Amino acid sequence: MLMHGSVHIVRVATDQAAFRPDIARIGNNINQIAHTANATGAITPEQVAELMQGMDRIRAILLDLHHDFTTSVTEGWH
């Protein structure tokens, strides 16, 4: 990143590839539930809970990545 005439390289510590299987699995589950909802017009309370758990996991992954990025940026300016 160019700032004040100098270049700062920011590296995120978290291995983003480690999250890909989780995100793929969550996306697959959401697609299956959406298919069921479209086919039947309804989803079960268990499916709603599964959707909420998936969204919570995605939120946690994004927060981890955001934390690592902001920490890297802050440390990179010293």
Total-model pTM: 0.65
DSSP code string of 35-72: HHHHHHS---HHHHHHHHHHHHHHHHHHHHHHHHHHHH
Backbone angles phi, psi at 10, to 5 degrees: -110, 125
Q: Which of 68, 77, 63 is nearest to 15 (CA)?
A: 68
* pLDDT tens-digit map of 28-75: 998 999 999 999 999 999 999 999 999 998 899 889 888 887 877 666
Both tokens of 63, joined, read 């927060």
Report whether 27 contacts 34 (CB < 8 A).
no
